[in-house]
Amino acid sequence: MEAVQKGGVTISGLQGAGGIGKTALALKLAEQLRDSYPDAQFFLDLKGTTEPLTPAQAMAHIIRGFLHRDTKLPDDEAQLSALYCSVLDGKRALLLMDNAASREQVEPLIPPEGSVLLVTSRQHFTLPGLFPKNLDILPPEDARALLLRIAPRIGDSADKIAKVCGYLPLALRLAGYALAEKRTMSPADYVKRLEKAGGAVELIEPFLNPSYRLLNRKMQNLWRMLAVFPGTFNSLAAAAVWKIPPEKAEDALNTLISYSLVECDETTGRCHLHDLVRDFAETKLSESEREEAGRRHAEHYKDVLAVAGDLYLKGGKEMMAGLALFDVERRNIVAGQAWAAAHWKEDDAAARLCSYYPGAADLLELRRHPSARVAWLETALEAARRLRDRAAESRHLGNLGIAYRQLGKPDRAIECFAQTLTIHREVGDRLGEGLDLGNLGNAYLDLKELGRATECLEQQLAIMREVGYRRGEGNALGNLGNAYRRLGESRRAIEHYKQQLPITREIGDRRGEAAALWNMSVVLDDLGERDEAIAKAEAALEIFEQIEDPNAAEVRGKLEEWRKGV
């Protein structure tokens, strides 16, 4: 409205998927503009999803609105276009062209200055003077309000029905009408019926089918396979699932976006299918397509997780980039692992996938709850044993032990660490042996067996220095600091933390740096050095918050106590 009133706007374009409310909003806009365009108001369905009108047919419809219906119109399109402009010249007319097929269909219909053209389309295109508006789903509160306005008796079920309908206006309206008309059906029963029927897909299928049918068979196949993505994805992921070059994947995605079958965030470049659209696409998948897409998706996101894990281990800014990559791809990574976990018994390729997924152990320790990691690792362990992969078996056992420790099960952890220690000693893997000894030492600390713990941790430190593994050396120093703190040897504990701190900074291990600072602060407070303890804890908290470490809450709480003098 503001753009039209300022002048200079010839066209307002409403774009989006079928059922998103383009026509409803265009009609509302036309109603509000009507008084400003008193000479004529036209509504014309351009039939873009079925048998599109030609520009000549559309122009003829408008011309006949001004001339006698029996007037013979020229057959030549150029002459018809001239007549179209002539009848509109000097007029203030409002033209609403609904359901446009393409830019080529609409461009000849642009009226002369003084009139305004409103266009709706499932396609996304540009034109000179176009003022575009891409429509999206309703916010939850608006979806709820729409349902209650149509059928007030929905009451407290409105939020649940809105969610099942994916907040899509058309699905919401159809659901509201159904409950307004079917008075014998309770809202709760209607929710169950929708869920049993696969959600609101059946409500909107008639409105998605036309867009789907406009695609050629190859594009239909590509679009169906996108149902494998549970959330957003980029063009590289689409290329991997489609098994085509990235540049061709970008072209295909742009085509699907133009048909409003795929949504794209222009800021991030990431694409997604609306939940209902995704469900509809999934109903079109054959079993072989579903299997193929699932395998390729799992393969791709196994590699994405590996990249994130490698970045994390590099420390510093790259560590943060690794965490950010995992966060943006979390849903896809979890879905990829779930596919591998469901298929590892069927073939070796799926078993290898299942075994690879928990590989980014350090990153996953920060981003996945221990119980979730246990589920991944137990399945990966079975897969590794199926493949007779001793290296992977020992790796999974070690990470299982760490997860069990975090779940407060040190006895289970020790069982795992003891098994992997045996394997590493059998194959002569000194680094693996050192890591196992460190893990055993920490588990014994949990059990308050301080003598056995210190013995294991001293061996860990010696091996890490022997093999030159700086990250392991830093961890060993931190572990020994914890052991000496438990033994009441505070000064000795602080010395180990002080040795650990420069190593963590050298290798960019932000989490290790924060842990060293936090441990030092606790010991300093024990020694009565509260001011220095607070300074170290504040530095630790800043890092923990940056990397979203769960330890941040504990540090924050302790700082509040210290500042109050508790």
Q: Indicate if 122 and 151 belong to the same structural domain.
A: no
Do 35 and 155 share a domain, yes or no?
Answer: no
* CA-CA-CA-CA torsion sign (321, 325, 330, 333): negative
* Same-domain pairing of 44 and 148: no
Residue 390 belongs to a domain: no
**Whole-angstrom Cα distance, residue 380 to residue 373?**
10
CB 463 within 8 A of CB 434: yes
Tell me the pTM: 0.64
- Nearest CA to 509 out of 473, 481, 534, 533 is that of 473
Please say which residue of 199, 225, 241 terminates a domain.
199
Q: Which of 149-163, 183-197, 258-272, 471-485 has the lowest mean pLDDT?
A: 183-197
Q: Where are the beta strands (DSSP E) in 396-490?
A: none
The domain boundary residue, chosen from 115, 134, 153: 134
Q: Is 168 found in the same domain as 95?
A: no
Which three-class secondary structure string do you get for 344-374?
A: CCCCHHHHHHHHHHHHCHHHHHHHCCHHHHH
Which strands form 11-15's sheet, in the order they lie side by side? Answer: 40-45, 93-100, 116-121, 11-15, 130-134
Report helix, strand or coil for 21: coil
Residues 104, 175 share a domain: no
Q: How far apart (Å, rounded) are the C-alpha atoms in residues 281 and 261?
A: 10
Question: Which residues 6+ apart lie within 8 Å of 30 measured at CB?
Answer: 41, 43, 94, 96, 118
**% of the chain at pLDDT higher than 90:** 60
Q: What is the dihedral of CA 425, 426, 428, 431, to 10 degrees?
A: -40
- In this structure, the answer to whether residues 229 and 110 fall within a common structural domain is no
Together in a domain, 16 and 33:
yes
Whether 121 and 192 map to the same domain: the answer is no
Cβ-proximal residues to 382 (8 Å cutoff; 6+ apart), any chain: 344
Residue 33 lies in a domain: yes
Structural domain contains residue 449? no
Q: What DSSP element (H or E) covers 130?
A: strand 130-134
Name 439's bridge partners: none
18 belongs to a structural domain: yes
Q: Is residue 400 part of a domain?
A: no
Task: State the Cα–Cα distance between residues 156 and 147, nearest whole angstrom.
Answer: 11
Instruction: Give domain status of residue 176, yes or no.
Output: yes
Helix axis angle for 348-356 and 316-343, nearest 10°, is: 150
Cα separations in angstroms, 151 against 154, 159, 171, 485: 6, 13, 14, 66
The model's confidence at residue 235, banded by pLDDT at 50, 70 and 90, is very high
Tokens 């842990």 locate to 515
Please report whether residue 496 resides in a domain.
no
Task: Read off the pLDDT band of 249 (50, 70, 90).
Answer: very high
Distance CA 437, CA 482 (A): 15
| 56 & 120 share domain | yes
Domain that includes residue 151, residue range? 140-199
Per residue in 55-108, pLDDT (tens digit) is 999 999 999 888 876 778 888 888 999 999 999 999 999 999 988 888 899 999
Q: Reduced to 3 states, what is the DSSP secondary structure of residue 510?
A: helix
Number of domains in the chain: 3
Do residues 53 and 165 share a domain? no
Indicate the pLDDT class of residue 135, thresholds 50, 70 and 90: confident
436 token code pair: 């196992």
